[in-house]
Amino acid sequence: MADKFDRQVRVLEQTTVYQGFFTLERYRLRHSLFKGGMSDPLVRELLARGGAAAVLLFDPRLDRVVLVEQFRIGALHGPDGPWLLEVVAGIVEPGETPEQVALRESLEEAGCQPEVLLPIVEYHPSPGASSETVSLYCGIADAAGVGGIHGVAREGEDIQVVALPYARALRAVADGRAANAATIIALQWLRLNRRRLRKQYS
């Protein structure tokens, strides 16, 4: 493995191709090669996004997971349609921390306020095309009475909240209902840490 300090990227040209809800940028660049030297000039498009925060709401006393279901344009042509079962998530706005977003979105999307927020991982969901990073958390919460329709109307949100028994939430990954990275990662993490969380927070 090459030393990380030997790695360079030289941006030759950067242009904004589209500016809307998201920004699409085109780069002409060269980068260091593992065998030494620099690559030929390459052209790459980048969906420029900032950070996002996502939180798996878990009630260790009831052993229930709170998830949300909503329309997602990226899954429009997916085999099961564009309504996905997900963890709560939102974009980090300027001046906000990922933790603040996790708490805000939990209340807006699920009507549920975590008592404790535990970091799981920060990762790049699609580094081949997007600059987005996701800060993923587990929120210890009370799932009793959680449910209904939530979301911010001015943002076009129409979100159904479901509180599932732990085993049923895991089955949602196996049967393809929870088919997005943040939810899969969070539920697999919960599978590894559930016993500890139930002992500590029940």
- What pLDDT score was predicted for residue 4? 60
Same domain, 133 and 148: yes
- What pLDDT score was predicted for residue 5? 58
Please provide the DSSP assignment of 6-70 as one string. Answer: G--EEEEEEEEEEESSSEEEEEEEEEB-TTSSBPPPEEEEEEE--EEEEEEEEETTTTEEEEEEE
- What pLDDT score was predicted for residue 154? 79
Residues involved in catalysis: 155
Same domain, 165 and 151: yes
What does DSSP assign to residue 113? -
Same domain, 147 and 162: yes
Whether residue 140 contacts residue 118, with contact meaning beta carbons closer than 8 Å, is answered with: yes
pLDDT digits (tens, 9 = 90+) for 146-162: 988 887 777 777 889 99
- What pLDDT score was predicted for residue 152? 79
For residue 138, give both structure tokens.
Answer: 């587990």
Same domain, 65 and 131: yes
Same domain, 171 and 145: yes
Which band of pLDDT confidence, cut at 50, 70 and 90, is reported for residue 141?
very high
- Of the chain, the percentage scoring pLDDT greater than 70 comes to 98
Same domain, 29 and 104: no
For residue 17, give both structure tokens.
Answer: 């191709």
Same domain, 83 and 110: yes
- Domain-ending residue, one of 48, 67, 84: 48
Same domain, 60 and 144: yes
- Domain-ending residue, one of 31, 48, 65: 48
Where residue 130 sits, what CATH number does that domain have?
3.90.79.10
Same domain, 9 and 83: no
Same domain, 114 and 27: no
23 is in which domain, residue-wise? 4-48
Sorted by sequence, the CB contacts under 8 Å of residue 38 that are 6+ apart come out as 8, 10, 30, 31, 32
Same domain, 78 and 133: yes
Number of domains in the chain: 2
pLDDT digits (tens, 9 = 90+) for 55-99: 999 999 999 999 999 988 888 898 888 889 999 999 999 999 999
**What's the pTM?**
0.90
Same domain, 19 and 90: no
